[in-house]
Structure 1
């Protein structure tokens, strides 16, 4: 595997930022994660996520349909774990209940949509956001748009292979991994 010099960092990177994959960023293997385009150990990424969330002025979680709609017991369990994680980190939550474009405009105080995530981020002055339970193709679209037009630091908790367009991306994240991340945050907060 060839190392790339390209780093996935908060923007704004420009009107049409390149897809991180086209710049040589590759997805991590099991037990690994991405921090700004570099493959690292999962533990290191969890610690960096905790650091980013705890130092953020206005962190938000964006839960998507995969956990918002209680379509099976695992989705319900993961949703509860994500809610506990957000509460532990002192973050607010804005749901992404579906992906349909809302025209002429969404209410950015109440929802986020992958077709125009910048509106919600600008309106709420979000400096760190976490995607969880969002279908991969929509997460990738939104993450790239956020990187292109805002200075928001993005984190993706992916149930599959991860997201190269997020500044930090964990892969294979289910309820247990979310609870592990919550424990890391509690430890950094001094056990609270």
Structure 2
């Protein structure tokens, strides 16, 4: 197991203050294939996955933030990655899932227990007292924006599971995350969880709803089993309410 000391860590939870230097300014670059970033240092990606597991299993109000690339059932690839994200969620007791369904600013007010928005992600972090989170399925430029703002203004430990080259402004990142690699993350979390002696609920209902989600969507229910979720048909569906079409998403993916 690789352990970084405080002196070795470059990108760490904040708050780093107003307009802190970017990771690139601090000399941190995206990882090479087969590698990941652990607090700004390049290490083997499985080492990063193990630290992701420990942080998500012990962090206060650990949360997964799925973005449009895994939220909307645009095609078979998106659906397969979405299932893999749910498998990750299934290994983390009491985890929250708060979506990033759209990138446009939510003015005059965002409901932090309903969504996270890349233009003011700190509001959702603060509103739910989140100290560990995973970004997955978010277009890279919006993920970069969110990660910088979260590091500047919160104490949240950020994790980016990226389909491209990874995110140097996250405390931890794994690159080239297709469905198979996301499932590898889930398996590592399962192994580390068992090594730590952390059990899942017997009924499998380990995903916790925010009070808003519970009240407005789920009739007062507090938890659910993520593996019971059924994907809808690959149509535009509710994404149309956010001004998107499947053709637009396929061009951007």
Which TM class, normalised by the smaller chain length? over 0.9
The separation in 2 between residues aligned to 1:162 and 1:96, in whole angstroms, is 18
Which of these residues, 8, 11, 33, is aligned with residue 30 of structure 1?
33
SS of equivalent residue, structure 1 residue 156: strand
Provide Cα deviations, 1:145-184, integer angstroms capped at 9, x if missing partner.
0000000000000000000000000000011111111111
Bigger RCO (CA 8 Å, 6+ sep): 1
CA drift at 1:87: 2.3
Whether 1:45 and 2:18 are equivalent positions in the alignment is no
C-alpha contact (below 8 Å) 1:6/1:25 kept by paired residues: no
Distance (whole Å) between structure 2 residues aligned to residue 132 and residue 190 of structure 1: 24
SS of equivalent residue, structure 1 residue 40: strand
Superposition CA RMSD, Å: 1.3
Computing the radius of gyration over CA atoms, which structure comes out larger, 1 or 2? Answer: 2
Aligned length: 188
Cα contact 1:6–1:23 (8 A) shared by 2? no
State the partner residue of 1:72.
75
Distance 1:9 1:163 in 2: 13
Q: Which runs of 5+ in 2 are unaligned?
A: 1-7, 200-253
The answer for unaligned runs of 5 or more in structure 1 is none
Deviations 1:81-125 (A, max 9, x none): 101211211211000001000110111010000000010000101
Look up the SS of the partner of 1:34 in the other structure. strand
Cα distance in 2 for partners of 1:73, 1:157 equals 19
* TM-score where L is the length of structure 1: 0.95
1:1-192 aligned within 5 A: 7-90=10-93, 91-190=95-194
